[in-house]
Structure 1
Amino acid sequence: MSATVLVVEDEPAIQELLAYNLRGAGYSVVCVGSAEQAMVRINEMLPDLILLDWMLPGKNGIEFIRLLRQDSRTRSIPVIMLTARVEEDDKISGLGVGADDYVTKPFSPRELVARIKAILRRSLPEASDEILDIEGVKLNPVTHRVTVIDQKNELQEKELLVSPTEFRLLHFLMAHAEHVHTRAQLLDRVWGDHVFIENRTVDVHIRRLRRVLEAAGKANLIQTVRGAGYRFSARSEDIF
């Protein structure tokens, strides 16, 4: 699942440099030149991370971060500030208003990509290419395959056929194993926060995933937490 990075930078050359390196690293990239344009794009679709220049025309980067952190919808979006300001007080100011990292210009594109990956590993583990293997269920984001250990022959793996939506749902649940997610949270993170569909749509896809896993004796890994939502857990004693 490719993460989306919103680049808020008014210098076209730097925009182009960032977009080239980020796309080369496998990210989807959206570029804008001001905080006002960034808010328009955010209202259309939430990015997974924002690269934000401090000195922007109109509203500057610090003011923009304050707006993001005041809104529950955008509060948790990771932000990396890009700036030519190298004084310690400036770094403290940027981090103090809610930036997750602070990179000074000129910067190394490779180092910047490494910092982005580090932040997304914490905030968005389902965007990683890491193979997930929990209780014999293995999900490979690169090959887009889900396999289980064959019950008749433990040396062999059997592929499970899941739809693209169910793959994304399973990937998200496995990447956040043991965490309970409401239907609304799953809709936002798997379908997108601007897709207006019934919460019960999640139930339909959960039932389908369970039927697929049931043939391998793994249906109990997707658990319903009554009054809360769903989680992926190997701890069968926690089922409600």
Structure 2
Amino acid sequence: MTNTIQSHRIAVIEDDELQLASLVTGLEQQGFTVESYTNREDAQNAFNEKLPDLVISDIILGSEMDGGFDLAKHLLSYNQPIPIIFLSERQSEFDIYTGHALGAIDYLPKPISLNVLIVKVKNLLRITSSTGQKEQLGEFASKIPGLELSQEKFKAYWHEKQLDLTATEFEMLKQFAISGEGTVVSYDSLQASTQGVVERNTINTHICRIRNAFKKVTPDFNLIHNEYGRGYSWQSKD
């Protein structure tokens, strides 16, 4: 049986060489192709030649206190979403918010459990690599007026303006587009849509980010409602 994991290229950026070696060994043992870097500049130069399928990065890289964040900003300049997992000892609310605002799929504390990281990596790549098995662009129609989704590119548009969403948040938003107005999207459905990448206790945070993405287009946006104990629903103003 062919191991589909082998086709995935993961870039790991970590300035601690012992930690870097541990991450690389653990990921390679799972069949991933791993490219390792100890600094932001080398990683960016490599990305200019060929982009990886996933980036795992520390925040502090050498003398650059925000090297990982700067790397994420650089990735945003490419015309395709590259999922990022941050690993860091910095666990302030501001740092975690900044990481997610820059497009991070996850922000994990150090010291990291390698087993947990590997599970999250597999789940995340299952989402981002399954486009060919899902609806192709044009075959998926949103039931919500003004909301359009491109399954092929993991991009969503609100009144023809692109929303700033991660791949997992795109999958969560898709549940509302499929269900339509007035239908409750359960917590279990939202979590299942991300293949377990989003944990139950962080769903509210991702919904808040989705709402904020809409507010950047329409500041008075208030259509995603909390259904206490059940999940969320899309409710029109009428």
Question: TM-score by structure 2 length?
Answer: 0.52
1:94 aligns with 2:99: yes
Q: 2:58 aligns with which of 53, 62, 74?
A: 53
Query: In the alignment, what sits opposite 1:157?
Result: none
1:41 aligns with 2:46: yes
Query: In the alignment, what sits opposite 1:28?
Result: 33
Q: Distance in 2 between matches of 1:103 and 1:118?
A: 15
Query: In the alignment, what sits opposite 1:178?
Result: 136
**Which structure would you say has the larger Rg?**
1
1:12 aligns with 2:14: no
Give CA-to-partner distance per residue, 1:83-133, whole Å, 9 cap, x none: 11122221111111211110110010000011111111111127xxxxxxx
CA contact (8 A) 1:35 1:58 kept: no
Q: Distance in 2 between matches of 1:178 and 1:69?
A: 24
CA contact (8 A) 2:11 2:56 kept: yes
Query: In the alignment, what sits opposite 1:111?
Result: 116
- Give, in angstroms, the shift of residue 179 of structure 1: 4.2
Q: Distance in 2 between matches of 1:66 and 1:58?
A: 18
Query: In the alignment, what sits opposite 1:68?
Result: 75
- Give, in angstroms, the shift of residue 11 of structure 1: 0.7
Q: Distance in 2 between matches of 1:96 and 1:15?
A: 25
Query: In the alignment, what sits opposite 1:225?
Result: none
Query: In the alignment, what sits opposite 2:89?
Result: 84
- Give, in angstroms, the shift of residue 178 of structure 1: 3.4
- Give, in angstroms, the shift of residue 42 of structure 1: 1.1
Query: In the alignment, what sits opposite 2:126?
Result: 121
What residue identity is the alignment partner of 1:61?
G
Secondary structure at the counterpart of residue 76 of structure 2: helix
Query: In the alignment, what sits opposite 1:166?
Result: none
Give CA-to-partner distance per residue, 1:153-203, whole Å, 9 cap, x none: xxxxxxxxxxxxxxxxxxxx4x345347xxxxxxxxxxxxxxxxxxxxxxx
What residue identity is the alignment partner of 1:64?
L
CA contact (8 A) 1:91 1:102 kept: yes
5+ long unaligned stretches in structure 1: 127-172, 181-240
CA contact (8 A) 1:54 1:62 kept: yes
CA contact (8 A) 2:83 2:104 kept: yes
5+ long unaligned stretches in structure 2: 139-238
What residue identity is the alignment partner of 1:55?
I
Q: CA RMSD in A?
A: 2.0
- Give, in angstroms, the shift of residue 16 of structure 1: 0.7
Q: Distance in 2 between matches of 1:48 and 1:65?
A: 14
Secondary structure at the counterpart of residue 100 of structure 1: strand
CA contact (8 A) 2:10 2:32 kept: yes
Give CA-to-partner distance per residue, 1:198-236, whole Å, 9 cap, x none: xxxxxxxxxxxxxxxxxxxxxxxxxxxxxxxxxxxxxxx
CA contact (8 A) 1:34 1:58 kept: no
Q: Distance in 2 between matches of 1:44 and 1:58?
A: 25
Moved over 3 A (4+): 176-180
CA contact (8 A) 2:57 2:85 kept: yes
What residue identity is the alignment partner of 2:136?
E
**How is 1:166-205 mapped onto 2 (pairs within 5 angstroms)?**
173=132, 175-179=133-137
CA contact (8 A) 2:85 2:105 kept: yes
Secondary structure at the counterpart of residue 61 of structure 2: coil
- Aligned pairs, how many? 132
